[in-house]
A and B are shown apart, each in its own frame.
Chain A
Amino acid sequence: MNDYRGIFADGLWNNNVVFAQMLALCPLMAVTTTATNGLGMGLATTGVLLAANVVIASLRQFIVDQVRIPVFVLLIASLVTLADMAINAWLHELYKVLGLFIPLIVVNCCVLGRAESFASKQPVAASAADGLAMGLGLTLALVMIGGCREVLGSATLFAHASLLLGDSFAFLETTLIQDYKGFLLMLLPPGGFLVLGFLLAGKRGMERVMEKKGVKEEFHCSVP
């Protein structure tokens, strides 16, 4: 598939990792207590996805079919270790927040899923585009869910964004309601499931409206 527009539409909306494939839910529930954490986790996973797709697509001729899964896992684990060390070295504040979950990108099903269903069958350039698109789709989902939970749970948005993006992005940090009492449930895992459920329902609703309006939509479904 060399249709890059289709690849990006798939990754961001039609076949979004979270909103369509329902993968990567474990890091989703664990880290999305703020939009900033979601953004950091999303970007880290995007990096890993991009690198993993490129490496696996370029080695796909040499990987024997029977042992492909262990080889994929090995490659992904090496890349995640690199990402883990890089974040620890250059974004140490973020690492303190996300630390536990960065190594777990290894077992994030969306990375292995893309390797298996896309990168192992497609040329390098298309795989790179797919990795980027899927990663950005995941980032979008993580930021949206993190943002909803943060607004409802503590009435802030992008708190501590300067730790992730540098001081120039400190303007993103907003407090919506002063001395908000806090809605603890939203910061606990049930809040993550609730927000995910309502966003999923919202996406389905939007798609239904778009269909009714006659917008031609192609629904791709590649279940990894």
Chain B
Amino acid sequence: MNINPVAGAPHAHDGDSVSRLMGLVLLALLPAVLYGVVLFGWPAVNLLIVTLIVCLLCEAGCLWLAGRSVRLGLMDGTALLTGVLLALSLPPWAPWWIGAVGGGFAIIVGKQVFGGTGQNVFNPAMLARVMLLVSFPVEMTTWLEPHPWLSGSAPGFLEGLLITFGHSEIADGVTGATILGYARTELVMNHALSQILPEHYHTGFAAIGWTGGSLGETSAILVLMGGLWLLWRKAITWYIPVAMLGAVLVLASGFHWLNAERFADPVLHVLSGGLMLGAFFIATDPVTSPVSRGGQIVFGIGCGALVYIIRTWGGYPEGVAFAVVLMNAATPLVDHYLRPRAYGRTWSGQSRPISERAKHAAMGRDAGSGSR
């Protein structure tokens, strides 16, 4: 018997590929990257480059060890995206070894140990960020006031190299707490939000990102625009971002309504920290999020609720990385309970009963062919 082997599924392909998707996401991130570079100057460029190089080198090394094609593995762009996302979530003037250790951890422990692209349980960039925050709390919480490029306060190229690669301590005057961190410290001292916020927080500045924070997370508007563009290009679906932002908005509105002096308003929550980046670019990672629509909504709500809980009652002022990593761990469970219905079967997996119309049509066809 001769069976012609056909190639495995998928048989119909619209030309989409991992590298195309990664390219789209990187393009969407470009405005936020450029803005971060402009806002924080040469040290941010150095950190970005170090993180990217280490990520790519580790990816290449692991692929070589595993005996796979290094060129194909690097060309798919996943390591590049991991590096960019990690760098964007780092404090912009962090020393080079933060980027190097983080990049290596993200690629080796976060991704390649599990079997490489598409096999990882956790989002590599967020896993590395959590590791860095737990291991090096001082370096990971040294935030900068904005030092825009070409302004007097911006460090020059050599000065930038010293900040990233040297041992020079960053002067106290240029650092400052992020609004989430500052509000937390003050709230612990029983100060009301109406006293804390006015001098340190301005909704407009927070929206365009003219504030201290991670390299690429400050500008909520630029990240949002990138995210909407991804939605429009159908690179991501709306379920996770909307569910995540919605959960934070609902929780923040509710508690703010209960006690405005203790719980910050929802707009502040949405505009600050890494929430926007997390909702559109990190939680939507197709590898580590659930498959079905219902699952993605549950996943998004879980991420958003965890972000709010960690920000409000947790030990850290910001919790996007923790929330995403925790929900990544829950993804197999969500996938188990919220499976998409298989075509032609009921939710419980039984064959669907054939409708009368379909029966008639089938009978008619049989009769027709029989009479011929």
- Pairing of A with B: yes
Residues of A at the B interface (CB closer than 8 Å) are 181, 183-186, 188, 194, 197
Q: Is the CB of A183 within 8 A of B135?
A: yes
Residues of B at the A interface (CB closer than 8 Å) are 101, 109, 113, 131, 134-136
Q: Is the CB of B136 within 8 A of A181?
A: yes
Residues on B with beta carbons closer than 8 Å to the beta carbon of A185: 131, 134-135
Q: List 14 A-B contacts (CB under 8 A).
A: A181-B136, A183-B101, A183-B135, A183-B136, A184-B134, A184-B135, A184-B136, A185-B131, A185-B134, A185-B135, A186-B135, A188-B134, A194-B109, A197-B113
Distance of A196 Cα from B135 Cα, bound (Å): 19
Distance of A202 Cα from B134 Cα, bound (Å): 27
Distance of A51 Cα from B231 Cα, bound (Å): 68
Interface hub of B101, B134, B135 (most chain A Cβ within 10 A): B135
Residues on B with beta carbons closer than 8 Å to the beta carbon of A181: 136
Distance of A194 Cα from B101 Cα, bound (Å): 15
Of chain B, the residue at the smallest CB distance from A187 is B135
Distance of A186 Cα from B136 Cα, bound (Å): 12
Q: A184-B136, A188-B134, A197-B113 are in contact. List 4 more A-B contacts (CB 8 A).
A: A181-B136, A183-B135, A184-B134, A185-B135
Shortest CB–CB separation between residue B99 and chain A, in angstroms? 15
Interface of B, helix, strand, loop or mixed by DSSP:
helix
Shortest CB–CB separation between residue A139 and chain B, in angstroms? 27
Of chain A, the residue at the smallest CB distance from B132 is A185
The 4 closest A-B pairs by CB, nearest first: A185-B135, A184-B135, A183-B135, A185-B131
Residues on A with beta carbons closer than 8 Å to the beta carbon of B113: 197
Distance of A65 Cα from B134 Cα, bound (Å): 50
Residues on A with beta carbons closer than 8 Å to the beta carbon of B135: 183-186
Shortest CB–CB separation between residue B350 and chain A, in angstroms? 41
Residues on A with beta carbons closer than 8 Å to the beta carbon of B136: 181, 183-184
Of chain A, the residue at the smallest CB distance from B105 is A185
Distance of A197 Cα from B114 Cα, bound (Å): 12
Distance of A181 Cα from B109 Cα, bound (Å): 22
Shortest CB–CB separation between residue B111 and chain A, in angstroms? 14
Interface hub of A184, A185, A188, A194 (most chain B Cβ within 10 A): A185
Of chain A, the residue at the smallest CB distance from B131 is A185
Residues on A with beta carbons closer than 8 Å to the beta carbon of B131: 185
Shortest CB–CB separation between residue A53 and chain B, in angstroms? 36
Of chain A, the residue at the smallest CB distance from B139 is A181
Shortest CB–CB separation between residue A203 and chain B, in angstroms? 15
Residues on B with beta carbons closer than 8 Å to the beta carbon of A183: 101, 135-136
Of chain A, the residue at the smallest CB distance from B95 is A181
Shortest CB–CB separation between residue B66 and chain A, in angstroms? 11
Shortest CB–CB separation between residue A36 and chain B, in angstroms? 22
Residues on B with beta carbons closer than 8 Å to the beta carbon of A188: 134
Distance of A194 Cα from B108 Cα, bound (Å): 11
Shortest CB–CB separation between residue B184 and chain A, in angstroms? 21
Distance of A194 Cα from B109 Cα, bound (Å): 8
Shortest CB–CB separation between residue A148 and chain B, in angstroms? 14
Distance of A181 Cα from B132 Cα, bound (Å): 13
Of chain A, the residue at the smallest CB distance from B138 is A181
Distance of A29 Cα from B144 Cα, bound (Å): 38
Distance of A188 Cα from B101 Cα, bound (Å): 17
Of chain B, the residue at the smallest CB distance from A181 is B136
Shortest CB–CB separation between residue B361 and chain A, in angstroms? 58
Distance of A126 Cα from B134 Cα, bound (Å): 48
Distance of A19 Cα from B102 Cα, bound (Å): 28
Distance of A185 Cα from B109 Cα, bound (Å): 13
Distance of A184 Cα from B131 Cα, bound (Å): 9
Distance of A183 Cα from B132 Cα, bound (Å): 9
Distance of A195 Cα from B136 Cα, bound (Å): 19
Distance of A184 Cα from B137 Cα, bound (Å): 10
Shortest CB–CB separation between residue A31 and chain B, in angstroms? 20
Distance of A183 Cα from B136 Cα, bound (Å): 7
Shortest CB–CB separation between residue A180 and chain B, in angstroms? 12
Of chain A, the residue at the smallest CB distance from B113 is A197
Residues on A with beta carbons closer than 8 Å to the beta carbon of B109: 194
Residues on A with beta carbons closer than 8 Å to the beta carbon of B101: 183
Shortest CB–CB separation between residue B320 and chain A, in angstroms? 19
Of chain B, the residue at the smallest CB distance from A205 is B65
Shortest CB–CB separation between residue A17 and chain B, in angstroms? 23
Shortest CB–CB separation between residue A199 and chain B, in angstroms? 13
Distance of A194 Cα from B105 Cα, bound (Å): 11
Distance of A194 Cα from B134 Cα, bound (Å): 15
Distance of A188 Cα from B109 Cα, bound (Å): 16
